[in-house]
Structure formats: C-alpha cells, structure tokens
Chains A and B, each alone.
Chain A
Amino acid sequence: GQQLNQSPQSMFIQEGEDVSMNCTSSSIFNTWLWYKQDPGEGPVLLIALYKAGELTSNGRLTAQFGITRKDSFLNISASIPSDVGIYFCARGDMRFGAGTRLTVKP
C-alpha cells in the first residue's frame, strides 16, 4: 500500500520547549489532518489542511501542508504539561500515521 511515515515515534521534552513532528507519504494527497489522542479516548481534531503550502495555526499549534503535497508538519510552541498525548497525522484517504508520543516534563 501507499506508505505513510510519521516521525519521531516519541519525544521527551521540558516544559516550555518547542516541538516539531512530521509525516511523509509516498503519494500525493489533497488533505492532511492532525489529531491528538489522550489515553483511552478517541482522537480529537487539531488542525485540517486542504491546500499545498497552507500554514494554519490553532493557539500554540501550527501545521503546514508541504508544497510537494506529500508531507505535513506540526509544531507546538512553548509546551505545557497538558500537551502530553499521542499526536497523529492523517491524509486524505483516511489513513493514519503511527503516532508521535509526547511526554512533557514539568
């Protein structure tokens, strides 16, 4: 199938640090989505991207749709303890990346 790679797998950071994660697909898609999942709950949509080159923010979160339409990036600025969770990217065919597990140390 068409590959979807998300990295890094996990991150351990200090409170206040910035975070960056990305997803890369082997094929072009018209949509990239970013979700956060807390333990035992369903993922919650953070940011949706529909145009190549689009840069969208949601509070401290910023996501970009890569110009090649094969990748996307999520940045979290000034992390806080409640940012802890698993972050997933998803592309237009509703396939999800393996997730980035974020731990924030106070």
Chain B
Amino acid sequence: DGGITQSPKYLFRKEGQNVTLSCEQNLNHDAMYWYRQDPGQGLRLIYYSQIVNDFQKGDIAEGYSVSREKKESFPLTVTSAQKNPTAFYLCASSPPTSRFSPSGNTIYFGEGSWLTVV
C-alpha cells in the first residue's frame, strides 16, 4: 500500500541526547515536510524539502536538523539544542506542482511520532 510511514510511534529521550525520527514515503512525491504539534495547538512547520539534496528551514527550525539523501526518505533529528522537544511530530509529503496539476499543493500526512523527554 502507498503511504507515509513514520517510526517510531513513541520515543523517549533523555535530556542532552539527540534522537532521529524516521519518515519514509512510497508515493513518489517530490516534497516532504516536518511539523511539530504541541497539545491543544496547531501545526508548526519545522523543515521542508522540495527536492532531493535540498531542504529549507520552516518557522521553528532551531534545535532540529534534517537530510534528504533519497527521494523517499526525510529523517528529522531532534538535537540537544532543542530545549523543549516533547511534542507530536508529523511528517508529510506532496506531489509535484504544475499548471496542470494544482494538487501538488496538497499534502498528505503520516501517523505521527510522539517524543517525550524523560
């Protein structure tokens, strides 16, 4: 089945540790995104990538890093510099945009990963 797979679903991190959240898609989408959601809050954009080997900071990139070495993979590392990392993390992807395919602006989400600092 095509889709976006995030792992792990639940992750516990000790203070001072880096952790990496995995995101894989088999939809052949060019663009991928990472969002953070705090309890009762909306989604905030961390990083996005429009194409392999290229990525851009979103609105809250400090304390996070990403890589895009393969089209289907966009892992997110939560570094020790992120002072308040406990949150729900969502990965998403979208197909290419063109004049004939405006649906490229439509993004699809994975199931999310819960990160808790202990």
Contacts and interface: CB of A to CB of B under 8 A. Distances in A.
B108 A45 contact: yes
B55 interface: no
B87 interface: no
Interface string B96-110: 000000110111111
26 contacts: A30-B102, A31-B106, A33-B107, A35-B109, A40-B112, A42-B4, A42-B90, A42-B92, A42-B110, A44-B109, A45-B108, A48-B105, A48-B106, A50-B103, A88-B42, A88-B43, A92-B105, A94-B33, A94-B45, A94-B94, A94-B107, A95-B45, A96-B35, A96-B43, A96-B44, A99-B41
Q: Is the interface of A mostly helix, strand, loop or mixed?
A: loop
Contacts of A98: 41-42
A101 B42 CA distance: 11
Contacts, number: 57
Interface in A66-106: 88, 90, 92, 94-99, 101
Nearest to B110: A42
A90 B45 contact: no
Contacts of A41: 111-112
Given A41-B112, A94-B48, A30 B42 contact: no
Contacts of A45: 106-108
Interface of A: 1, 6, 30-31, 33, 35, 40-45, 48, 50, 88, 90, 92, 94-99, 101
Nearest to A99: B42
A83 to B, nearest CB: 19
Interface in B41-73: 41-45, 48, 59
A102 B45 CA distance: 23
Contacts of A95: 45, 59
Contacts of B90: 42-43
A80 B106 CA distance: 27
Contacts of B40: 101
B90 to A, nearest CB: 6
Given A42-B90, A94-B48, 9 more contacts: A31-B106, A33-B105, A33-B106, A41-B111, A42-B109, A88-B43, A92-B105, A94-B107, A96-B44
